[in-house]
Amino acid sequence: MSRQSKDGKIEEDPTAVDVNMKILSINKVDVINMEFTLDMYLRQFWQDDRLRWDDKEYSFYNDSIAIPAKKDNLWLPDLFFRNGKQGYLHEMTQPNYLIRVDPSGNILYSQKVTVKFACQMQLQTFPMDTQICDMNIGSYGYTTSKLLFRWKKDGNKVPVELGEMQISEFNTPREKEIQALDCTKGSATSTGSYACLKVIFKLERQLGSYLSSTYIPAILIVTVSWLNFWISVEAVPARVSLGVLTLLGILTQGMSVINNLPSSSAHAKLMTDSIWGVNYFFVDVQMMRGRLTATDSRAVSSYSEAAMTLISKKNWAAQANPSRG
């Protein structure tokens, strides 16, 4: 940006702001609303010659100075999150930000923030899916002729660090798999070209939780429904009770899975509907088989009773008229 230096000259070169961060935790990955939330330390580094004090008269003091109280009096980059939906700066027990200036005018601006990001998830292979989500950082008002964002290079350290964390339903991404990219070239809009940085996460869903909470219970319910084949045909109440209970169980399991998916995800809905439709089919088949068996059993019993009655009548007639024998 244009700034006036100590000697009164106007600087026209864009201000370069180096960025790095440490992600403390990924709190939640919300499939229904297609978003994820994370806590992080966001750090920005730049130089402002107007804040230098490396003149000879100050040579006795070489340490950096923390000046958080002067925040409103300093120029700060207008960094924002393009795909951010909601966020806040932590304020326990004091607002969690730091501003530090060294004698050369180098500034460190660090914040602890929680941000909720939008992520367009692909759920065709749910629950064996892997989601690619990103964090998009940019300047809101300054074009690239005034302000540039760059990933801070500090030896072998990566610009995006990961803290110790566990994510519900997903495997924790590895630091080496996180991509920190410069997306400035593709960020031109109708109002100009703006600086852009992007962090890409790879989130792989844990299948184990779905095996224990969904698939195994569904298999057990369908297996229990097959016990109907070994129950006596005459035990109609037992057969009906077992069929109704297994049908209700499979319906409850299916609805709990479907309700945890976004309504806009047609592929995931179709897949889960197909899987649970097969389960419903197996349970319904055993109930239909039970009904047919009971009907056939009653018909056979009726025929047997009629035949026995006819035989009894013939035997009675033969005993009443022995001479005709």
Q: List the one residue out of 15, 17, 9, 33 whose CA is nearest residue 264.
A: 33
Answer yes or no: is pLDDT of 7 > 70: no
Share of the chain above pLDDT 90, in %: 37
How far apart are the C-alpha atoms of 154 and 58, rounded to whole Å?
28
Q: Does 322 sit behind a cis peptide bond, omega within 30 degrees of 0 on the bond before it? A: no
pLDDT of 99 over the 90 cut: yes
Q: List, in sequence order, the alpha helices (H) in the chain.
A: 207-210, 216-225, 236-258, 266-320
Superfamily covering domain 10-205: Neurotransmitter-gated ion-channel ligand-binding domain (2.70.170.10)
Cα gap 19→159, rounded to integer Å: 7
- Residue with token string 């019993």: 301
Q: What is the pLDDT of residue 122?
A: 87
Domain ranges of the chain: 10-205, 208-317
Per-residue confidence (pLDDT) for residue 186, from 0 to 100: 75
**What is the residue-averaged pLDDT of the chain?**
81
Which of 146-150, 184-188, 243-247, 250-254 has the largest mean confidence?
A: 146-150
User: What is each CA distance from 208 to 132, 217, 222, 250, 268, in whole angstroms?
Assistant: 20, 13, 20, 20, 18
Q: Residue 175 corresponds to which amino acid?
A: E
Averaged pLDDT, 92-116: 94
What value does the mean pLDDT take over residues 218-236? 76
Q: Mean of the pLDDT values across residues 141-164?
A: 92
- Mean pLDDT on 204-224: 83
Window from 124-133, 195-204, 215-224, 258-267 with minimum mean pLDDT:
258-267
Buried b (16+ CB within 10 A) or exposed e, 230-268: eeeeeeeeebeebbeebbebbeebbeebeeebeeebeeb
Q: What's the whole-model pTM score?
A: 0.74
How far apart (Å, rounded) are the C-alpha atoms in residues 94 and 74? 20
| Cβ proximity of 107 and 101 under 8 Å | yes
Where is pLDDT greater, at 242 or 129?
129
The pLDDT score that the predictor gives to residue 193 is: 93
Encode pLDDT of 34-90 as tens digits. 999 999 999 999 999 888 887 777 666 778 888 888 888 999 999 999 999 999 999
Residue 207 has pLDDT above 90, yes or no: no
| Mean pLDDT (whole number) for 213-219 | 82
Res 113: pLDDT? 98
Q: Check whether 317 has a pLDDT greater than 80.
A: no
Q: Which residue has the higher pLDDT, 118 or 211?
A: 118
Q: For residues 293 and 296, give the distance between their C-alpha atoms in angstroms, rounded to a whole number.
A: 5
| Mean pLDDT value of segment 165-173 | 88
* CATH of the domain spanning 208-317: 1.20.58.390
| Mean pLDDT of all residues in 245-274 | 67
147-151 and 15-30 strand pairing? parallel
Tens-digit pLDDT profile for residues 110-152: 999 999 999 999 888 888 889 999 999 999 999 999 999 999 9
pLDDT classification of 284: cutoffs 50, 70, 90: low
Tell me the average pLDDT across 275-292.
63
